[in-house]
């Protein structure tokens, strides 16, 4: 098994101090927050959604859309901000999305999104911090 390294790293102890228990469970433990549980699901202001672990800009607000799933959804990430890998957990094969800078788990990518990309980046709101530009 190869261990991927990222430009921004922290020790496990540092992650536990920085993140809330829920953020740690989702971002470092590859968990999922309950649908509809995050206020960022309803965020409609202009701005950029950043990684809660390293503050890297991940998604622009103009790429956010209402998917009806209960999680913030985006057409595409900022260039180079999100990497993907195969997730074979829970007896299925999915595409995991993680922060390209720190490796934190963000959510999953599905091919049922609207044009122009046809993709739906289904992202855990606890993995995001919103920086408004208004």
21 within 8 A of 125, measured Cβ to Cβ? no
Lateral strand order in the sheet of 128-132? 57-60, 47-51, 128-132
Residue 77 lies in a domain: yes
Residue 62 lies in a domain: yes
Residue 56's pLDDT is: 97
The two tokens of residue 53 are: 């672990």
Q: What whole-number distance in Å separates Cα of residue 87 and Cα of residue 105? A: 11
Residue 31 lies in a domain: yes
102 within 8 A of 15, measured Cβ to Cβ? no
Q: Say whether 38 is catalytic.
A: no
Residue 2's pLDDT is: 43
Task: Provide mean pLDDT across the span 54-83.
Answer: 96
51 within 8 A of 104, measured Cβ to Cβ? yes
Q: pLDDT tens for residues 99-115?
A: 999 999 999 999 999 99
pLDDT above 60: residue 3:
no
pLDDT band, residue 6 (cuts 50/70/90): confident
Report helix, strand or coil for 79.
coil
- Domain of 126: which CATH number? 2.170.150.20
Residue 32 lies in a domain: yes
Residue 8's pLDDT is: 80
Residue 60 lies in a domain: yes
Q: What whole-number distance in Å separates Cα of residue 100 and Cα of residue 58? A: 9
Q: What is the domain range of residue 69?
A: 12-132
Report helix, strand or coil for 15.
helix
Residue 4's pLDDT is: 65
Residue carrying structure tokens 């208004």: 134
State how many domains the chain has.
1
Residue 3 lies in a domain: no
Higher pLDDT, residue 104 or 85: 104
Q: pLDDT tens for residues 9-66?
A: 899 999 999 999 999 999 999 999 999 999 899 999 999 999 999 999 999 999 999 9
pLDDT above 70: residue 1:
no
Set 51, 99, 102, 122: catalytic member: 122
């Amino acid at each position: 098994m190869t261990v991927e390294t990222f430009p921004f790293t922290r020790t496990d102890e540092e992650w536990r101090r920085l993140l809330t228990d829920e953020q740690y469970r989702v971002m470092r433990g590859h968990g999922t927050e309950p649908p509809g549980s995050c206020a960022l699901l309803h965020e409609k202001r202009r701005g950029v959604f950043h990684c809660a672990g390293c503050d890297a800009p991940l998604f622009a607000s103009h790429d956010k859309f209402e998917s009806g799933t209960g999680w913030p959804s985006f057409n595409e990430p900022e260039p180079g901000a999100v990497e993907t890998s195969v997730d074979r957990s829970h007896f299925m094969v999915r595409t995991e999305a993680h922060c390209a800078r720190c490796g934190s788990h963000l959510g999953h990518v599905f091919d049922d999104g609207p044009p122009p990309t046809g993709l739906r980046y289904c992202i855990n709101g606890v993995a995001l911090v919103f920086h408004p530009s208004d």
